[in-house]
Amino acid sequence: MAVNGVYIVLGEANTVVALLNKARRQYQLSHQPPTLEDTEPLLRNFADLKEVLNEVADLGDMNPLTYLSPFLDVIKAQNTNGPITEAALSSVAKFLSYGMIDANSIKAANAVESVAYAVVHTKFIGGKSSGSDECVLYKILLVLRSLLLSPPGALLSNEAVCDMMQSCFRIVFEQHLSPLLRKAAEATLSDMTQLIFTRLPTFHEDARHPYIRKLVSEQLWSFCFCWFVFPLSLNFASVFVTLISRLKGVPFFDFLSESLSRFTVIRKVFGK
């Protein structure tokens, strides 16, 4: 990791800290209840982070969670407003786009799992304008897409990927949101689904997995054969999203795991 990575984290930390201090001053001047009193622990986390960063020259020598945790705590905090949460999400998106999480690090898997959990469970105080709230939701989509499509995204667990895609689905089907945001969520789902299918050759079946045992016992080949006869050039993302959107009462993770497992098995049987 280049030395500049330290300065990138410091710059993003200063931005979030400035917004936290600004919000606290505004609440004090308006004589409103101290709804942002929980910002003190958040500010202390950033102060501790700055002390650590001043002692290191390379982020590669650090556990990624050391510099990610203060930002993730802000994202999960209930008493922060939209602009603060948006800034923390933007910081995480920048870390991912700059490749600051090394996929070869033994700590990378834990780091990406923590990022996925925090973003899926984002909380903030809604503003007077729905547009400002939608900016936060858009940043959530941006981080989820960047995380899954990044090299360390391959280390995410099935459960984490499921939660990420479910978050996108919730935005797609929220009728009170703007059409533009919902279209952005659809595009994010399409990119994420396409990536999952491009990684099919790297998947390995586990005979002990309950979904594989269920597949063998029920002999549900019809669904698999439909996937097999489709040309490989078919737009898997569009078909997959359409099928998912029509499901009612079927857990998404069950459908995702079974469909991927069946498609992998049928390709193996026919030597594809």
Domain boundaries along the sequence of the chain: 5-202, 203-271
| Three-state DSSP state, 81 | strand
Indicate the pLDDT class of residue 229, thresholds 50, 70 and 90: very low
Q: Are 47 and 92 in contact (CB under 8 A)?
A: no
pLDDT of residue 262: 46
H-type alpha helices, the chain: 4-29, 39-53, 64-76, 82-97, 108-120, 130-149, 158-172, 179-198, 210-218, 221-229, 236-246, 252-269
Q: Are 35 and 79 in contact (CB under 8 A)?
A: yes
The two three-digit tokens of residue 179, written as one number: 């059409």
54-69 residue pLDDT tens: 888 888 888 999 999 9
108-138 residue pLDDT tens: 999 999 999 999 999 887 766 667 789 999 9
Indicate the pLDDT class of residue 214, thresholds 50, 70 and 90: low
Q: Write phi, then psi, for 96 (nearest 5 degrees).
A: -70, -45
In this predicted structure, the answer to whether residue 186 has a pLDDT above a threshold of 60 is yes
Specify the range with the lowest mean pLDDT, choosing from 15-24, 28-37, 39-48. Answer: 28-37
Q: Are 82 and 136 in contact (CB under 8 A)?
A: yes
pLDDT of residue 91: 95
